[in-house]
Amino acid sequence: MAPVTRKPIGVWFSIALVILLLSFWVGSYGGSAVARYWYAHHQQEQGTLPRPERLRTQSELDELDKVETLTLLEIIAVPKLVPWDKYLPREIKALENLQSRSNAPEIKSLIDLHLGLAYVRAALADEDNNNEEQAKKYMQSAQVLFKSLGWQDYSGETLKAVAKRERQKWELAPTKASEK
């Protein structure tokens, strides 16, 4: 009988298997430690807000979201679904409520700007409906707001031009299908 020679393949396979298992074990612990360090480092770089500051910031972001939602509703829904004279008093009421609850001066100025534009648009709608007295009240309210915002020229004609330009900016250009 020929002598059987043992090849060290089993030993090398066992060593490779142990190295593989050790690398998975070290990788899982080392990887999670690196991930925790990386997260903490970036959190520290960005800065963490204390709870009261985080709540205040979230409140301001919510107010901005409400103003943008009102603007979006006006752009999308009003021309097609609701007449201006019905929608604008609701928008004004919502902006006045938001203005009275807002504490941040930066947000308050933005709300005042949107409220002033809503007053001017309501004045234009009332002029179209021959309601001159209400149109005059809305225009005076708008002028007071724009004066408080520091505008130099807050005359009725200037404010009407600004409101018309703002409305035109959001109006959709006619499509080729609608032109035919």
- Average predicted confidence (pLDDT) for the chain: 77
Determine, yes or no, domain membership for 24. no
Determine, yes or no, domain membership for 94. yes
pLDDT digits (tens, 9 = 90+) for 139-180: 999 999 888 888 888 888 888 888 888 777 766 544 444 444
Among 70, 62, 68, 110, residue whose Cα is nearest residue 91: 70
Residue range(s) defining the domain that contains residue 144: 55-171
pLDDT band at 80; cut points 50, 70, 90:
low
**What's the pLDDT score for residue 141?**
92
pLDDT digits (tens, 9 = 90+) for 102-121: 777 778 888 888 889 889 98
Most confident of 32-36, 77-81, 86-90, 124-128: 124-128
| Between residues 97 and 74, the one the model is more confident about | 97
Alpha carbon distance 141, 115 (integer Å): 9
The residue to which tokens 């800065």 are assigned: 47
What tokens does 17 get? 């298997």
Determine, yes or no, domain membership for 76. yes
- The lowest-confidence range among 22-31, 74-83, 84-93, 97-106 is 74-83
Helix (H), strand (E) at residue 148: helix 132-148
Determine, yes or no, domain membership for 120. yes
Among 127, 139, 56, 130, residue whose Cα is nearest residue 92: 139
Q: How far is CA 123 from the centre of its chain?
A: 28
pLDDT band at 137; cut points 50, 70, 90:
very high
Determine, yes or no, domain membership for 18. no
User: Per-residue DSSP letters for 112-124?
Assistant: HHHHHHHHHHHHH
Total domains in the chain come to 1
Amino acid at 64: L
Determine, yes or no, domain membership for 134. yes
CA distance to 80, 90, 149, per residue, from 130 (Å): 22, 20, 29
Can you give the three-state secondary structure of 81-106, one letter per residue?
Answer: CCCHHHHHHHHHHHHHHHHHHCCCHH
Determine, yes or no, domain membership for 140. yes
What tokens does 87 get? 């929608």
Determine, yes or no, domain membership for 26. no
Write down how long the chain is. 180
Predicted structure pTM score = 0.60
pLDDT digits (tens, 9 = 90+) for 7-24: 667 777 788 888 888 887
